[in-house]
Amino acid sequence: MPDLLINDLVVEYAGPTETIRPIDHLNVKVEAGSLAILLGPSGCGKTTLLSCLGGILKPAAGQITFGDVDVTALDAKGLTEYRRNTVGIVFQAFNLIPSLTALENVMVPLRAAGFDRRKSRQRAAELLDRVGLGERMEHRPGDLSGGQQQRVAVARAIALDPPLIVADEPTAHLDFIQVEEVLRLIRELADDDRVVVVSTHDSRILPMADQVIEMVPALETVNRDPELREVAAGEVVFEQNTMGDLIYVVSEGRFEVIRHLPDGSSEALATVGPGQYFGEIGPLFGLPRSATVQAVTDGVLVGYTVQAFRERLGATGVKDLIERKPVRLDEVADEG
């Protein structure tokens, strides 16, 4: 069986105002017969990476090779063949067809690959026996437990005996007993010399892994030029508890920083004017906005990414913005 190589992989998404890079120059090697775990919280790029490995998402840069196949260089026809013959995908939400029995669900990829009905049925029955569902093969998904549905999904994923299996949070909807069943099955798949890559935030799977790939959320978006924003009096710049990646410096006008309290009331935290900044806490630490900002007068703002803001403000300035009230950028420059 071949090895999986990921070289200098970059994935970018174009947001409404920014380019987000969940995977930034990732390098990984997974040897045949290995179970590799992508470990990390939601939003760190685990599902994105699996989508690239599965030939569903095309990266912005870098290379994925599986044996002698350059997955990132395949055209649309090549990707279809790759998904059909090389990779099996186990989805987090099972993705079983509710109107079909367990047996018929496993037969779907076999029939799509050109197997006749008799051979498809025989192969599907063998796989369901393997995953411990020989007595439930005529049941529909709605009559199966979560663990049983996941085992049907695994049987379907390996129907064509693919050398690469990717599984997205396969234990996310399962109770403790069901988790044990599915984890044992996933471990067995890798023992057959396949490459198995599983995304999870569940540490219970770690003892079974041959390799753990820790992934962390990208707290910064791709750096870009400062953005000029004209704001009318009364306009809300951003709202509390929303996500954002820009820190704003006031060029003209005055802006009020307001915190909404749990009892429904609000308190004014500050009013900022030219040379002052706001909105730094959320982008710096990857958190939602801690307050709402509204324009008191017409004004002009300059929005900076975290990286650009740090470069302009300098290390001393970043410390100041965490520990002190908003300051003028020209005052920080004078201090430095």
Q: Which helix or strand (DSSP H or E) is residue 128 part of?
A: helix 117-130
pLDDT score of 222: 52
pTM beyond 0.85, yes or no: no
pLDDT in tens, the chain (336 residues): 689 999 999 988 765 556 677 888 899 999 988 999 988 766 678 888 999 999 988 898 999 999 999 999 999 899 988 988 899 888 877 788 999 999 999 999 999 888 999 999 999 999 998 888 889 999 999 999 888 888 898 889 889 889 999 988 887 766 666 677 777 788 888 877 889 999 887 777 788 889 988 886 654 445 567 888 999 999 999 988 777 778 899 999 999 999 888 777 888 999 999 888 898 877 766 567 888 999 999 999 988 887 777 776 654 343 343 333 443 444 433 333
pLDDT score of 18: 62
C-beta separation of 102 from 152 below 8 A: yes
What is the identity of the amino acid at 193?
D
User: What tokens does 291 get?
Assistant: 């307050």
Q: What structural domains does the chain harbor? A: 4-214 (3.40.50.300), 227-335 (2.60.120.10)
pLDDT score of 53: 94
pLDDT score of 333: 36
pLDDT score of 116: 93
Exposure string over 72-110, b if 16+ CB within 10 A, otherwise e:
bebeeeebeebbbebbbbbbbebebeeeebbbbbbbbbb
